[in-house]
Amino acid sequence: MARACIFPGQGSQAVGMGRALAESFPQARAVFDEVDDALGQNLSQLMFEGPVEALTLTANAQPALMAASLATLRVLQAERGLDLARDVACVAGHSLGEYTALAAAGTFSIADTARLLRIRGEAMQAAVAPGQGAMAALIGPDAETARAIAAEAAQGEVCEVANDNGAGQVVLSGTKAAVERAVAIAQGRGVKRAVMLNVSAPFHCSLMAPAAEAMRAALAGVAMQAPVVPLYANVLAGPITDPATIRDALVAQVTGTVRWRESVAAMAEAGIDQFHEIGTGKVLSGLVKRIAPGATASAVGSPEDVAAFPTFG
């Protein structure tokens, strides 16, 4: 058996996230305190109590999701004896979850990860004026069909595949008019479902180029270590360990496609048959079960989940 730890992306945040862990385990509380100190903000209070409108803001949601995941991981290390270098074959994360995965594997410190994600969230939000960009989910088509729909809809504007999530779920991103055209084209072609998404910016498309440059500058000033296990990178759908390659992949990820389907398939092909989603929500676990039907996937985010987790050491 070979295990992977995977870490959720934006959209999994919810008011109350991490609160039960913080109340039950000092290791979790310590992570939340460290993130609060790094950001100079009582982010943990916002996570525990809301309001949801503030938690959903990209600049808050990204470090909050990271904090919840790493708090969970620290508890698993203390309570269940989990050692990533010994017990896990690789890590991966969806979009911002890639930063969480790298922090879990020792590439970044928790404080640096929190600050990087704050910069990333603010830069992504500022890259496109409100109302100018949009995203849409297509349910049913494969990535190639979605790419063809996006290309037809672009008409000189931007419409690109942002996420190939697998299980017939592809997300498009770009200028508002082009994405709306893509939805109409998809509906006309019998795509099972094509809907505009309620998002604050058009993530993972070329409109995010200013945010990519902001991250290039931010990452250049942060200490990086080789991860203790390989990272399956979003834009490469394959394993990397070299810090310079990781830095380039994180910059490319801002404008590039999150190749989650291919990443999970590559991990399964490499022999990974157990996936543990660490943190808030169960989105990635559900996708894994549909992409790699021979694998098991579980979500770990509560004290009860911790108690049910295998014991190592």
CATH of the domain at 42: 3.40.366.10
Do 149 and 26 fall within a single domain?
no
Do 104 and 240 fall within a single domain?
yes
Tell me which residue range forms the domain holding 262: 3-126+207-308
Based on its alpha-carbon atoms, the radius of gyration of the chain, rounded to whole angstroms, reads 19
Residue 268, pLDDT score: 98
Do 195 and 217 fall within a single domain?
no
Do 245 and 162 fall within a single domain?
no
Rounded to an integer, the average pLDDT of 67-71 is 98
pTM more than 0.95: yes
Q: Looking at 182, 199, 216, which one is the last position of a domain?
A: 199
Residue 302, pLDDT score: 97
How far is the CA of 87 from the CAs of 31, 276, 292, in angstroms? 22, 12, 21
What average pLDDT does the chain have?
Answer: 97
Cβ neighbours of 42 (radius 10 Å):
12
95 included as an active-site residue: yes
Beta strands across the sheet bearing 3-7:
239-240, 231-232, 90-93, 3-7, 274-278, 296-300
Q: Looking at 199, 216, 241, which one is the last position of a domain?
A: 199
Do 186 and 290 fall within a single domain?
no
What is the total count of domains within the chain?
Answer: 2
Residue 290, in any domain of the structure:
yes
pLDDT over 90 at 164, yes or no = yes
Residue 313, pLDDT score: 78
Residue among 12, 44, 69, 95 flagged as catalytic:
95
Residue 167, pLDDT score: 85
Do 180 and 264 fall within a single domain?
no
Place of tokens 């999150």: 258
Rounded to an integer, the average pLDDT of 204-218 is 98
Rounded to an integer, the average pLDDT of 8-28 is 97
With both helix axes pointing from N to C terminus, report the angle between 97-104 and 243-255 in degrees, rounded to the nearest 10: 160
204 included as an active-site residue: yes
Residue 203 pLDDT grade (very low, low, confident, very high; cuts 50, 70, 90):
very high
129 Cβ contact partners less than 8 Å away, ≥ 6 residues apart: none
pLDDT over 90 at 16, yes or no = yes
Residue among 200, 204, 263, 285 flagged as catalytic:
204
Do 114 and 237 fall within a single domain?
yes
Residue 313, in any domain of the structure:
no
Percentage of the chain exceeding pLDDT 90: 97
Residue 72, in any domain of the structure:
yes
Residue 73, in any domain of the structure:
yes
Do 273 and 301 fall within a single domain?
yes
Q: Dig out the tokens for 164 from the structure.
A: 């190939």
Rounded to an integer, the average pLDDT of 256-281 is 98
Read off the DSSP letter of residue 309: S
